[in-house]
Structures are given as structure tokens and as C-alpha cells.
Amino acid sequence: MTRLGTQGFRNLCDQELFPCQGVNVIYGGNAQGKTNLLEALWLFTGGHSFRGAKDGELPRLDPATGENAPAAALALDFFSEGRDQKAQLRIESGRRASVINGVKKKTGSALVGKVCAVIFSPEHLLLVKEGPARRRGFLDGALCQIRPGYAGTLHVYHRALSQRNALLKDIARFPELRDTLEVWDARLIQLGAAVMEERRRYVEKIAPRAQEIYHGISRGKEELSLAYAPSPPLPEGAAPAEWQALFREELRRTEHSDIRSGFTSAGPHRDDLEITLGGLSARMYGSQGQQRSAVLALKLAEAQALAELSGETPLVLLDDVMSELDQSRQDYLLNHLHGRQVFLTCCSPETVRLQETGLRFRVEAGQVFPEQVGEA
């Protein structure tokens, strides 16, 4: 990315940002507009705001009236698919429209696949802190970027799961329906095996990368390990056909309890991603800094895998990433993320002074002020 233009977006002034291809540090006090810059970049992936904001909330807010402006516009110059490209986003009346290389599109989602990015925000710490659903979401989100067909398979699996669960509830009232359960099981098993195979391959790909990145972040003091934990448990190296047989066996074993509960107790909707530090659960035993470092390693490994599999190097967006990290870990993020274009926000001027290369931008009341490294 070589240029970002903002007009009427959030609290940002109408301006242009010209970043470097390395690490770009965006710093300033709270509520000055740092995260808004990352949000503007993220919207060019074609997705919605990573903060959960509705499109109608993105145009500038008028403090006097408490209402959002009718429209906002963003512009991006970037290199993708072997050539320089331009994209514009217009947000108006709660909807997004885009222009890609001069061609008008009716939606913002038309940008999907044009600009790749990986985002870390404080909410991503829940990957470690909370239960398996968050970690499944991480795997599925990453796979949907890399393999567009995976999203369809996952959707059909969840639809089949919902239908089986509905049938389980009906069987409790109408036992004669039990004979139809095998038909739904066959569909669930076929789709579930496909989902599990994709997840297994992806974890095998990112695990050594995440381990290497965490080794760098911790300066070799700790070891991170990732392991795919499917439901039902599967032998290492099992082929998809074996998975289907084991899945079928587990559904038969749990059939009575599933009918009582009205819920399918085995399948990829119960999968997990085990994250350990030195052989111990990162969720149970990791410190705040270790947990943050583990999630950062996951996200940076995601970016590396995306680059290798798609052929496009994604933007790395790191929001409020420095909190709870010691100086050594901060130094790694500022000065050792080579080969990536990084946009990193932080508040502390002391942290900013650790930056040795790249560019720096101070944000104050929505205005962005470029600085040379060493000025802060």
C-alpha cells in the first residue's frame, strides 16, 4: 500500500497518508484516531469493520447534533496481482459502494480478494482466554481468505448440523423418526470430514511458523506449540476415509445421549486448537504478556501462510499491540518484522523511541503528522 486518503471518515481529518513498505508506527493519546486509520485500511479487504461498527456509523460524527454525516470516502493506492491498482470506497446512507481501477461496483464486498490483510486487535486476546469457539473462528476465518470454497462447505455443514439437531428434538417426541437419522448422519459425516481435513492441513502449515515467530518474540525463552484437537479425536496421520468411519462410530455411540439433549455432541463444531507454552496450557498458565505474544504469533503466522498460499503479501494491522509486553518483545515487533508492511498503533512515546527503521505518524485530534524516526 502506498497511499491512503480519508474524507469525512470517523474523526479523521481529510488527508492523505504515505506509508513505507516496512513498519509504520501510528502513535498518540487515547481517542485521537489511531484505530480509525487501521479500520479504514481494513475496509478495503471488502469485510465489515473489525470493531463491529455498522456502515452508517463510519461517517464523521457531529458532536453538536450527535448524528453522523451523510457520507464518507476512502481511497487506496496499492500493488496487487503484479500491478499498481487504485480503489475507492464511498459510505453513504448506511451502504458501501466501491470503485476498482475506475470501474464502479455496487458494493464494498466487491473488493474481496483485491487487498489482503491480517488484523490484531485487543479482542483477539480472547483466542487464548476464552473457549474453543473463538479458536475455531480463527481457523475458519483464515481458511475462508485462502480457500473461498471452504466457506461454502462450512455453511452447508452447519446447515446439516442444524437439521440433525432439529431431528433429534423431534425424535424425543416421535420415536418412529429415529429410522431417518442415518440419512442425516451420512451427510453430516461427509461434510464434517471435509471441514476437519482443511483445518488439520492449515494447523500443520501455521504451527511451525507460529513457533518460530514466538521464539523470536520471546527471544528464545519460551516455546509455543499448536495442535489441532478434532472432535472426535483422530489418530495422527489418519486419512479422510478413516475420519468418516470414526465420526460415524462416535455418532452411533452418542446417539442416545444426543436424542436426550437434542444436540449433536461430536463433530467439527466441537473442534479446538490447543495452544501451549512450554507444554502448559496458555489459557490456564500463561501470563498476560505471554498470552498476547501467543496471539501475535498466531496472527503473524496467518499472514505468512496467506502470503505463501495466495501469492499476495497481506497488510499486517496491529492495534494496541504493545500493552503488557516487556521492552524486548516490543523491540521485536518494532524492528524485526522484516518482509511485511506493518501498521502498528501504540500510545506510549517511550515505546515509539525503540523504533529504529520505518516511518512514524503521530495522531492528534484526527490529524496525522508524519515524523522521522528519532524525532519523538
Residue 128: pLDDT band by 50, 70, 90 thresholds? Answer: very high
Non-local (6+) Cβ contacts of 354 within 8 A are 327, 330, 331, 334, 335
CA neighbor of 195 nearest in space, from 164, 169, 163, 234: 234
260-273 pLDDT per residue, tens = 999 999 999 999 99
Residues in Cβ contact with 47 at an 8 Å cutoff, skipping those fewer than 6 apart: 109, 112
pTM: 0.90
Confidence of residue 240 (pLDDT cuts 50, 70, 90): confident
Burial of 331 (C-beta count, 10 Å sphere; 0-12/13-18/19+):
middle
* CB-neighbour burial class of residue 64 (10 A; exposed 0-12, middle 13-18, buried 19+): exposed
Whole-number Cα distances in Å, 329 to 106, 292, 321: 43, 10, 10
126 versus 240: which is more confidently predicted?
A: 126
d(CA 207, CA 204): 6
- CA gap 30, 364 in Å, rounded: 9
Grid coordinates given for 205:
502449515
Q: Which pLDDT does position 323 carry in this prediction?
A: 85
Which whole-number Å values give the CA distances from 239 to 196, 234, 266, in the listed order?
11, 10, 18
The highest-level CATH class for domain 128-284 is mainly alpha
What pLDDT, in 10s, does the model give residues 189-228? 999 999 999 999 999 999 999 999 999 999 999 999 999 9
> What band does 133 get if pLDDT is binned at 50, 70 and 90?
very high
Q: What is the mean pLDDT of residues 137-146?
A: 92
pLDDT in tens, 283-306: 999 999 999 999 999 999 999 999
* 298-344 confidence digits (pLDDT tens): 999 999 999 998 888 999 999 999 988 999 999 999 999 988 999 99
Beta strands in 93-177 (DSSP E): 95-100, 103-105, 117-120
pLDDT at site 294: 96
CB atoms near residue 220 (< 10 Å): 9
- Tell me the domain boundaries of the chain: 3-116+312-371, 128-284
Task: Specify the pLDDT at position 372.
Answer: 82
- pLDDT band of residue 236 (cuts 50, 70, 90) is confident
When the pLDDT of each residue in the chain is averaged and rounded to a whole number, the result is 93
Closest CA to 160 of 133, 178, 186, 136: 186
**What pLDDT, on the 0 to 100 scale, is given for residue 374?**
61
Whether 230 contacts 269, CB under 8 Å: no
Query: Over the stretch 75-113, which tens digit does the pLDDT of each residue have?
Result: 999 999 899 999 999 999 889 999 999 999 999 888 988
Work out the angle at residue 365's Cα, subtended by the Cα atoms of residues 57 and 373, and round it to the nearest 5 degrees. 120
Whole-angstrom distance between the N-terminal and C-terminal Cα of the chain? 24
Residue type, 254: T
**Same fold for the pair 3-116+312-371 and 128-284:** no
Which residue type does 168 have? L
* Secondary structure class of 323 (helix, strand, coil): coil
* Residue percentage of the chain with pLDDT more than 70: 99
Distance CA 73, CA 87 (A): 11
Domain covering 3-116+312-371, topology: Rossmann fold (3.40.50)
Give me 160's grid cell: 446439516
Express each pLDDT in 37-65 by its tens digit: 999 999 999 989 999 999 999 999 988 88
Q: What is the pLDDT of residue 375?
A: 59
Question: Residue 114's closest CA among 302, 303, 314?
Answer: 314
8 A C-beta contact, residue 130 and residue 295: no
Say if residue 357's pLDDT is above 70. yes
Residue 237: pLDDT band with limits 50, 70, 90: confident
**C-alpha separations of 346 from 32, 225, 303, 350, 355 in Å:** 11, 28, 21, 10, 12
Distance CA 43, CA 125 (A): 21
- Separation between Cα atoms, residue 220 and residue 237, nearest integer Å: 29
C-alpha cell of residue 204:
500443520
